[in-house]
Chain A
Amino acid sequence: MSTTRRGFVRSLLSASMLMPAMLQQLLAEGTSSAGQNPLAPRPPMFPAKAKRVIFLFMSGGVSHVDTFDWKPKLLADHGKRYKDDYLHAPQWNFHRYAKCDTMVSELFPHVGAMMDDICLINSMRCDIPNHSQAVMQLHGGSAAQPRPSIGSWVSYGLGTYNQNLPSYIVLAPEIPYGGSEAWDSSFLPAMYQGVRVIPGREAIPNVTPRDLPEIQQMDLGLIEFFNRRNLTEHDGDAALAARIKTFETAYGMQMQSPEVFDITKESDATLALYGIDRSTKKGFGWQCLMARRLAERGVRFVEVIDGGSDKYTNWDSHLDMKMHGPLAKKVDQPIAALLKDLKLRGMLDDTLVVFTTEFGRKPGDSAPNEAGRTHQSAVYSSWLAGGGIKGGIVYGKSDDYAYEVASDVCDVHDLQATILNQLGIDHTKLTFRHAGRDFRLTDVSGHVIKAIQA
């Protein structure tokens, strides 16, 4: 057994609730460095502003010029030639919102009203304007290779508060581009993988125990007994150990899940805020409320995904920008509700809310009468709120027609570095050795955007 592997197994298993003493003995050989559960909460590298993240991901590519990046010149020069394109003005008006007077399109009136709590970034940039690669880069840092997702990195770095729930939960009615890679742990141990919850009747399948609690305890004890012997014979193999851990998490999920997913005890006011009622079991309002409930119960990283990989139902409005209309209507109120709700509960201070998408959409097109917009990764918009981020400001600028970044670029790695920073993690120091090299989320890039910190 190599020393690293033994260390790994020790840390993995010694604090586990189902783990009887025998394995402890096995692992006690050599000096013990006080093994701990790898998902136990760990202190950050430096004092953190945020304890958890709610990551709102709009799949398909939200058009920046139609939502959060106001470009009066684009409006004025509609139909004119620029580069090889004809410019196309947004189809929606922009208004000044909140005390900060930030311009937001009428697609997002509710979010607009919350702009005093939001730091808008109009200088986002990623490498490749293709869905799968951009989704992959947003989550894992690399557009070329599937890598551990940001939620997995955060779980790996900080552990989680609630051992009865996964550290990283993804509320996703559909699967985005690139499939489940978006929340995969890749080379990080599998326990850091995001657990996808499909909104619907039984949010987590098979979560209802089928037998008496004491019987189930005995069942699990027997499985544990078999697995432990097997693990001993296999030098503490990492995959075997990881699967043992999945049973422990599953047991906890089973205990806590009914309460977590039961929204009937929410107040009328809260439900109204999200625009849902007590019988609601899915939809974006439900997802946002559930994000708050999960965050409240100690889940470290909650990702809320809107849309999948179907361009007719996600934000990939190639055919007609009008398709953004119903999508924005669906998410606007719930997102604003989430911010308000967190604020009311005093949670916004230490919860970082991120609103993003894989890339923006091109303000012009080679066709003069094109109703839709194609992909653009050279500049787009995202925003952050809470978690020690300064509200009511706009960071970064795109050029006059929002084709490229004009100032204060925020590369997707910068966004990742900043998210980790708010959690008290130095993105250059959170590494994992894999195949002979230390990997990190931001690879060799990434700068913490200091200007937006409260």
Chain B
Amino acid sequence: MPSGLDSKLLRVRVSVATLCVLAASAGYGQGAPSSAEELFNEQMKPVITEHCNGCHTFGGHSGGLRMDSYATLMQGGDDGPVIIPGDADSSMLMNAIRYKDENLQMPPKGQLSDADAAIVAKWIKAIGQVSPAGTSPTVSPSAPLTPAHSSTPSEATPAMVKAADAAIRPVSTQVAFEQNQFFEMKVRPILIKNCYGCHAGSARGGLELTSRDKMLKGGKDGVVAIPGHPESSLLVSAIRYTDDKLMMPPGGPMKKEDVAVIEQWLRDGAPWPKMVTASDRSHITAADRNFWSFHAPVRPMVPVVQGNWAYNDIDRFILAKLEQKHLRPVRDADKRTLIRRVTYDVTGLPPTPMEVNAFLADKSPQAYERLVDRLLASPAYGERWGRMWLDVVRYADTSGGGGDYPVKQAYKYRDYIITSFNQDKPYDRFIREQIAGDLLPYKTEPEHWQNIVATGYVAGAVRADEAWTSDAVDNLGSAYLGLTVGCARCHDHKFDPIPTSDYYALKGIFDSTHFPDPGSDNSRMQTGFVVRDEARAESQQYTVFRAQLKPIVDAINAVQRLPGTYDDLMPQLQARRMNLLAHAPPELESAYAVSDGRPQNALIFKHGDPTDLGDEVPRGFLQVLGGGPLPANTKGSGRLELANWIASKDNPLTARVIVNRLWQGHFGRGIVVTANDFGTRGIPPSNQALLDYLAWQLMDNGWSLKTIQREILLSHAYRLSTAGSADNEAIDPDDDFVWRHRQQRLDAEEIRDSLLADSGTLDRSPGGPHPFPPQSQWNWEEQNPFAPNLSKYENNHRTVYMMVQRSVRHPYLTLFDGADPGASTELRSSSLTPLQALYFMNGDFPRKCADVLTPKLFTEEASQETAIRRAFLLIYARPVSAPELKESMEFLRKAAAVYTAHGASATAAQAKSEEGFLQAMFSSNEFMFIE
């Protein structure tokens, strides 16, 4: 790192540290005097309203700074406090409005008048005087780094500057998240155990250690903790027992490792996560709700940015953040890279050489826009993005319960998802159909039937442990709300304000819902599926059949309930069942879907144990998100009400969670990295204003996902290259703020689909149903589950149509990190393993595709050179370079010679070498990664 930059960074860091110390010593914060607040309302409000409006008020929070109220202003922003009471010259705000710091000039559109600036300066000065001098500031602004209680301040100073460098370095959200975990797992327990006896409620020595503010404020002896400087913090010398004037805790020294934890924590800047402290969560308090994601998004003002880098508003949010973090976007991706990237992103398929050439040839300014529109209109879009949703709802073609019974109707829900994406079904409508489609009004029977099929979402809950309603609640929380509601199944959620009663309020809704039985150890046949033609189901043919089946089923159930095992009787009964099913009348059209059952409230399972029942909980929705019990006039299960509550603009999470999934799909990383956890233990958004903007865009555009995706794809941010930048990496190693594009490994579907597409064998038609055995052959049980011969299920349709078992992961999908069919997958991993390399070297499928492709490229009339050129355009979407051509020709010649030497005919030798060449291209990194 160049030393100039280093020292500059250092300066910034030290100044932030200074502000922190000052903030602590001046004693403002939560306990600030109302007079200062009054002065704020009186003097500052008008100035702020005029000049800062939009970016820092009414929900705007550029740089993390809100200026709506005295309290939020004093909290400061991402870079720390902006006001130092009494000291206008040192206040970041003052310097910003005076345009003193070239990196921070506010407001960006033009400097304040001298009169207005004077008002601000006067106010800062004034609050220094009204601020209570509880403890007179022991740290003076002129010597901010001199620790109050270091016995040798002059020696401490150089060390502290170094420590400041380490402590206040910019951290990524990942690191912040880790620090929070560290606090909860390590630091807080130590404080509670060793310090809270005297420094929690009773504040011995004037010191309370129950919040960061209180700790920083110090006690009678002044400042005790200086973030970033454990070696100068009184707190540390006290617990180290090195200062005989003050040794804490008084009963004897803490464990050495605990001391080390506290030191580490202070060195990290003493991060203290906001904690939900309620122990009894039956009621949600205002404090519980005091978390960003539990408040409805406020439409943020679009930041004003300079220059012409920004193509659209998304870019303005991105750029404002980049500028604030002193990051510079890298150069743009070239056109070839861009078409390959956007084609994979939108359709999951590689662009054809023709598509690439057409795009390159189109020199008009609208070329890219037209490309995006063409891709979004392609049916392949639904196959790609429908898969994203299938990941989230843990789609599978089998039940996951005992026997892992195949659900031959499940594909209808899968196809419904794909179609919905292709139709750009409004997301709120999409939610209503999946949760309560059967209860929605309809105009035509086909519409009604599609709505019923959509409830395959609910029916598809994992059947294991007889706990499908619990799984339905868990997935509902993760998929739509981005909350780990499932944690509240056995106890109040440990971190988020979700009481167990809220969990069972939701569960009651599913308990009041009739689920189909896909077959299990006991029943071994489908029952309770929704039949399309109910009248026909009541015709004589079917009633007679059911009457024949009933006694056998009853007998089976009776035997099941008998104590002991009946190894002789049961197989006979099952054989009779299978025999009868073999002569069943033609199967009626049916769906793996739900209907309303008897309305009932759930009883709490204490500690999650279904045999240990607690109180009955009225059905309802999550309180922390503004939900309550079902309306009194609710007639049915409450599913429709639940669907409406989720699919609402008033729900703080619904829109945010889905736009974040879209963002993640296009950038490889969400604005909230934990896409299924927007709760207090998730990682907070890297750019909340952008997230909220997107959420509002979605809602204001009729919940159209394609509209948002189009805006994302047309942004400048999306079109950046993957180029590195040492300067940026030093500040934002994880690319949280999108200064470049992320290189991505192809996912499991993309690999297989690309091999099929490149070899010209991809069947673009929908996959349809799977060739499962008929019910008359169903006889699986827990210990002997459905174990299909996978080769019978193979086809050349896109991978989204592959048969996916829930209990046994598909080997191909497992190899390349496919989705988990047993639990919601928020983000695929991208492992790189030798087993994957073996797949490309020796596996049948890549070779088969190479074999099929060979005669298509290496045609009779074309020279080998021409064929190689074609191959590069096809597989890499670029022309071959001279050295590559030479090496490839060389390979073909040598390989053919080896084959000939082993007795192959000239023709066969040539063909085999060509196949090997294409296989090598498929195996290469350029095929495997998207830039």
Contacts and interface: CB of A to CB of B under 8 A. Distances in A.
Real complex partners, A and B? yes
A436 B832 contact: no
B836 A246 contact: yes
Interface residues of B, number: 67
Nearest to B931: A234
A144 interface: yes
Interface string B910-923: 00000011011101
B286 interface: no
B745 A435 contact: no
Interface string A182-223: 001000001101011000000011111111101110111111
A235 B724 contact: yes
B787 interface: no
Interface string B864-906: 0000000000000000010110011001001100110010000
A270 interface: no
Interface of B: 169-172, 174-175, 177-178, 181-182, 185-186, 257, 260-261, 264, 612, 722, 724, 726, 729, 733-734, 743, 745, 782, 809, 811, 815, 820, 829-839, 841-843, 847, 881, 883-884, 887-888, 891, 894-895, 898-899, 902, 916-917, 919-921, 923-926, 928-929
A143 B175 CA distance: 16
A26 interface: no
Contacts, number: 165
Interface residues of A, number: 66
Given A215-B898, A250-B841, 4 more contacts: A212-B898, A218-B898, A223-B924, A437-B178
Interface in A218-265: 218-223, 225-227, 229-231, 234-235, 237, 239-240, 242-244, 246-247, 249-251, 253-254
Contacts of B842: 206-210, 254
Given A227-B925, A435-B734, A144 B837 contact: no
7 contacts: A144-B185, A166-B834, A206-B843, A212-B898, A219-B923, A243-B832, A444-B261
B898 A249 contact: no
A436 B925 contact: no
A33 interface: no
Contact of A211 (B172, B182, B843, B916): B916
The 7 closest A-B CB pairs, nearest first, are A250-B837, A250-B834, A249-B834, A226-B924, A206-B838, A144-B181, A206-B842
A211 B830 CA distance: 29
B820 A179 contact: yes
A2 interface: yes
Contacts of B722: 234
Nearest to A226: B924
A444 B264 contact: yes
Nearest to A179: B820
B884 A444 contact: no
A41 B182 CA distance: 33
Interface in A86-121: none
A39 B927 CA distance: 26
B170 to A, nearest CB: 8
A239 B838 contact: no
Most B CB contacts (10 A, CB to CB) among A142, A222, A437 go to A222
A349 interface: no
B925 A249 contact: no
A240 B902 contact: no
A2 B729 contact: yes
A348 B839 CA distance: 36
Most A CB contacts (10 A, CB to CB) among B257, B264, B888 go to B257
B841 A246 contact: no
A85 interface: no
A206 B919 CA distance: 15
B181 to A, nearest CB: 4
Given A206-B839, A220-B841, A254-B842, A435 B175 contact: yes
Contacts of B921: 226
Most A CB contacts (10 A, CB to CB) among B724, B809, B842, B916 go to B842
Given A195-B835, A239-B929, A222 B898 contact: no
Given A212-B902, A312-B782, A227 B839 contact: no
B360 to A, nearest CB: 19
A169 to B, nearest CB: 11
A240 B925 contact: yes
A453 interface: no
Contacts of A191: 832
A239 B257 contact: no
Contacts of A426: none
